[in-house]
């Protein structure tokens, strides 16, 4: 049987088109996940799964690494913008943001997270 997974970029395009045509107001975007949507939560915790150094962030606003595992914005940033929210979804642990910022969206994603404890064991995240 063929793999029925939808590539993330096709899903992203669908969500952007849906957001552009949707008349319902989306008040916030809340993100859970791993490195594909981590916006910098791992910058604040002791782990080797980090991306707060170059070349990460070279195409991001200001050209600085943010903790996103990308050279620029990540898929959730584009989804947020497509729904009329801000163009980035901040990391929950980022000290630059407070509770009022989180009212319109936040990401709890953390690189190296997973359903299986072996994921974090391999990265030395659990003691």
Is there a domain that residue 1 lies in? no
Is there a domain that residue 81 lies in? yes
Phi/psi zone of residue 118: left (φ > 0), alpha (ψ -120 to 50 degrees), beta? alpha
Q: Structural domain of residue 48, as residue ranges? A: 9-123
The predicted-structure confidence for 46-72, as pLDDT tens digits, reads as follows: 888 899 999 999 999 899 999 999 999
pLDDT confidence of residue 72: 92
pLDDT confidence of residue 12: 63
CA dist 65 and 74 (Å) reads 13
b vs e for 53-70, b when ≥16 Cβ sit within 10 Å of the residue's Cβ? eeebbeebeeeebbbbbb
DSSP 7: P
100: helix, coil or strand? helix
Range list of H helices, the chain:
8-21, 75-82, 99-102, 117-123
Phi/psi zone of residue 62: left (φ > 0), alpha (ψ -120 to 50 degrees), beta? left
How many domains is the chain built from?
Answer: 1
pLDDT confidence of residue 26: 83
pLDDT confidence of residue 1: 43
Is there a domain that residue 4 lies in? no
pLDDT confidence of residue 19: 56
Residues (pLDDT < 50) of the chain are 1-4, 126-127
Is there a domain that residue 98 lies in? yes
Is there a domain that residue 46 lies in? yes
Is there a domain that residue 58 lies in? yes
Q: How far is CA 64 from the centre of its chain?
A: 16
Is there a domain that residue 2 lies in? no
């Amino acid at each position: 049987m063929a793999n029925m997974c939808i590539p993330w970029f096709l899903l992203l395009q669908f969500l952007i088109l849906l957001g552009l045509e949707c008349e319902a107001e989306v008040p916030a975007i809340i993100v859970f996940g791993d490195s594909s949507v981590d916006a910098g939560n791992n910058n604040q915790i002791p782990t080797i799964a980090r991306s707060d150094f170059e070349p990460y962030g070279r195409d991001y606003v200001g050209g600085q690494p943010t903790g996103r595992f990308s050279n620029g914005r990540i898929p959730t940033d584009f989804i947020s913008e497509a729904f009329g929210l801000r163009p980035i979804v901040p990391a929950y642990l980022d000290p630059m943001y407070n509770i009022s910022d989180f009212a319109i969206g936040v990401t709890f994603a953390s690189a190296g997270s997973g359903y299986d404890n072996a994921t974090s064991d391999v990265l030395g995240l659990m003691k």
